[in-house]
Amino acid sequence: MMMPSCLRGTLLSFRPILAALYPHHGSWLDPKWRPLVRVACLHGTAKHSQYTETSWLSQRKMASHIVGYPRMGPKRELKFALESFWDGKSSAEDLEKVAADLRASIWKQMSEAGIKYIPSNTFSYYDQVLDTTAMLGAVPDRYSWTGGEIGYSTYFSMARGNATVPAMEMTKWFDTNYHFIVPELSPATKFSYASHKAVSEYKEAKAVCSFTHSIVSASFS
């Protein structure tokens, strides 16, 4: 059956867009690329229609993505591990083991659920914006950080304060009830690559799933 001129004109008008999106799938005027649904149009006094049972578009699998996942664990494992570490009842190695197990479990769940683009660096011990602040080495002077990789002592002092200095300010993420640590930036702030968390977790994720990409959180409020 010859394609109606009105349908042909419609496909021609979209051809540059379709060709750019799907450059390897031949001519978009070929019958096998016609839409799955019935197309009816009037051409003069004759009604034309074309229907195909299958099409490449109907068989194309949608790629899925998620930008985050609850990190506390199904039984709040991270919460209890953090509290134990802060109280001095467990070591940094114990905390890291709980965190690594949770991350691996999350990535595995996403992979088994069919998520194609699995994110890494969405895990945090406290706050993702604080993680970005640490990665950039934007540590306020009052925490007496002297450079190098930012450790738990400096990180949690920024988040919670310590016996001698207060924590950094928190504010709401837009109009939600989630609060994040506000970076303290000034013309005197010196940036440096002070946390390898994003790269380390990317490598962890690659060992669990075939494809991942790193997410970096930031705020300009």
Q: Which of 75, 77, 74, 81 is nearest to 95 (CA)?
A: 81
pLDDT-based confidence at residue 15 (cuts at 50, 70, 90): low
118-120/212-214 β-pairing: parallel
Are 167 and 217 contacting, i.e. CB atoms less than 8 angstroms apart?
no
> Which of 10-19, 72-81, 156-165, 209-218 is predicted with the least confidence, judged by mean pLDDT?
10-19
Q: What is the band of 47 on the pLDDT scale with cuts at 50, 70, 90?
A: very low
* CA 96 – CA 123 distance, rounded (Å): 12
Summarize pLDDT for 48-105 with one digit per residue, the tens: 444 444 444 445 567 888 887 899 999 999 999 999 999 999 999 999 999 999 999 9
Interval 139-187: pLDDT, tens:
999 999 999 999 999 999 999 999 999 999 999 988 888 899 999 999 9
- Can you tell me the distance from the alpha carbon of 61 to that of 182, in angstroms, rounded to the nearest whole number? 41
Mean pLDDT of the chain: 79
Q: How many CB atoms lie within 10 A of CB 126?
A: 16
**Among 64-68, 72-76, 125-129, 191-195, which stretch is predicted with the lowest mean pLDDT?**
64-68
Backbone angles phi and psi of 107, in degrees to 5: -65, -40
Q: Please provide residue 70's backbone torsions phi and psi, each rounded to the nearest 5 degrees.
A: -55, 130
Q: What is the pTM of this model?
A: 0.69
Outline where 87-196 has alpha helix (H). Answer: 92-112, 128-135, 152-160
Q: How far is CA 209 from CA 71, 107, 111, 123, 170, in A?
A: 18, 7, 7, 16, 34
Cβ proximity of 60 and 33 under 8 Å: no
Backbone angles phi, psi at 125, to 5 degrees: -75, -25
For residue 167, count CB atoms less than 10 angstroms from its CB and return exposed for 0-12, middle for 13-18, buried for 19 or more: middle
Reference 137, options 218, 198, 215, 195; nearest CA is 195
